Amino acid sequence: MKKMKQMTAITMALIMALGLTACGNKNTTAPAASVPASEPAAAQTQEAVSEEPAPATADSGEKEVLEFYHAYFQDEATWHPAVVMREIYQAFADAHADGDVVFTPIPVEDLAPVYSNAIAAGSFPGMIDLAGTSLPSAAVAQKLVYDMKPYVDAEGIQEQLGLNYTQNDIDGAIYTVHDQLLTLGMWVNTDVLTSTGASAPDTWNSWDAFAEAMETVRTKGEADGIYSYGSGQGSVRMFNAALASTDKGAALLDGPITADGINSAEFEEAFKTVANMDQKNGSANSAVNANDFSADFNDGKSAVFVNGVWAAGGFADSTSFAPTVYPGNVALSSAGGGLTIANGLSEAQTELALEFIKYMTSEEVQTRIFLEVQANPCNPALDLEKLAASGDASVALLAKACSQCNNAGTIVRTIDAAWGSDIATAVQNKLTECSVSGADIDTIFAALKDELIALIG
């Protein structure tokens, strides 16, 4: 989606950092930057909330029950945003306690079996938060999920859905709405840039300018153990943004990848641009997960941290860390799968589920998601800078990061959201191969094209 600055900005911000396979060897002891609420894979590594009660039905008598499955199971000590989200859900349940339907939030550690098993049996959970994971196409094909677009249009709440209204439109229907966005730019250590004499982010108008800055960091900082950036997962994100730096490249991210797209000059140029930088940066600085580079970045051992806006909480106490968009004024932002309603519920259950969609995207709830969950809210009506004035330093940094991305000249979906995680994994793996000194980038790219064309059939 190409978006020019003069147009009204639509807000963006996790779910899921790409779960890709590559060779990583960065060992750190410092905790990774905060994980956004929309990253279920990360959430699943935490311990479940042991005190969370099982859904009760005895008090509901003859009332119908709307079960709502979500992945915010962590306790306060493990992950505070999960507690905030459960409070938000419970407030809705309490507000509708006297209604004809009992709203029952159910936290689970692993959402995938909840909906995949149901789909296999030809059904769907009453309501579920997919937490950024793409809505399975089988659920749509079997007409197992409810089209919310007529309700959204009738209520006039298109604007508060933000990117959901366009990115989650499937042939004129909206089956899922995510209350927060997976939004990614980059973070820079300004002290490292200054000490090595590298150019500042406001001069990175092209990928050539960025590459030159990274090479300066590498050559001038190498003696002090300083490297440019963490590649691997960071590389596939940079490829994503490099592809979007041209109109034709950005258009490829509007829908499924095709053989023509894979064979396009834009695809090749974006891949080789990042591959050449990665090779100079070195395979020792490559890892599966971008968070593996959090400690090095905080310790001043790298210049750029390729991660999402949610990372703001990881280094807000220092004035040397700042957010920036990708070269050419590009940002990545995906709504992804979110709140999804089953088809075939009773009229009363469906009415309550739709009311929950309106509630979760309201300014009141979106404000809590921004301030307390520290994620990029989907509702673009919020004045993030104004809200940040009432928060701490990390919230102010989050607001700056979100605002930069939300107002970028070009905003596109992440590759895994646009093309699928298998495509993103293949690209990341080949970029990792390119990071090895002496690797033949042309040969690796040719192999990637063959692999991708085989994947898409």
The reported pLDDT for the residue numbered 55 is 43
pLDDT of residue 54: 40
Q: Please check the confidence at residue 3 and state whether its pLDDT lies above 70.
A: no
> Among residues 63, 72, 59, which one has the least CA distance to residue 128?
72
Q: Is the pLDDT of residue 9 over 50?
A: no
Which is higher by pLDDT, 263 or 21? 263
Residue 57 has pLDDT above 50, yes or no: no
- 3-state class of 151 per DSSP? helix
| DSSP per-residue letters across 97-143 | TTSSEEEEEEE-S--HHHHHHHHHTT---SEEEEEEPPPPHHHHHTT
| Cβ partners under 8 Å of residue 375, min gap 6 | 13, 14, 36, 37, 38, 81, 180, 181, 309, 310, 369
182 or 22, greater pLDDT: 182
Architecture of domain 183-333+411-456: 3-Layer(aba) Sandwich (3.40)
Report the pLDDT value the prediction gives residue 307, as an integer from 0 to 100: 95
Report pLDDT for 393: 87
Q: Hey, where are the domains in the chain?
A: 40-177+336-377, 183-333+411-456
Measured between alpha carbons, how far is residue 80 from residues 83, 149, 180 in Å?
Answer: 5, 33, 16
Of 31-45, 65-79, 338-352, which range is least confident? 31-45
Topology agreement, domain 40-177+336-377 and domain 183-333+411-456: yes
pLDDT, tens digit (0-9, with 9 covering 90-100), for 357-366: 999 999 999 9
Confidence tier at 317 by pLDDT (50, 70, 90): confident
pLDDT value at residue 8: 36
List, for residues 38-56, the tens digit of each pLDDT value. 443 333 333 444 334 344 4
Q: Residue 175: how many CB atoms within 10 A of its CB?
A: 21
What's the angle, vertex CA 454, arms to CA 451 and CA 457, rounded to 5?
155
Mean pLDDT over 342-355 rounds to 98
Give 107-125 pLDDT, tens digit per residue: 999 999 999 999 999 999 9
- CA dist 61 and 16 (Å) reads 39
Q: Where do the DSSP E strands lie in 215-263? A: 227-229, 231-232
Cβ(43)–Cβ(186) under 8 Å?
Answer: no
DSSP state of 16: -
* pLDDT level of residue 392 (50, 70, 90 thresholds): confident
Whole-number pLDDT of residue 316: 65
H helices within 282-310, ranges in order? Answer: 294-298
Q: Residue 10: what pLDDT?
A: 35
Q: Which CATH topology does 40-177+336-377 take? A: D-Maltodextrin-Binding Protein; domain 2 (3.40.190)
For residue 152, pLDDT over 80 is answered with: yes
Give mean pLDDT, residues 327-351: 97
Confidence check: pLDDT of 205 > 90: yes
Q: Is the pLDDT of residue 389 over 80?
A: yes
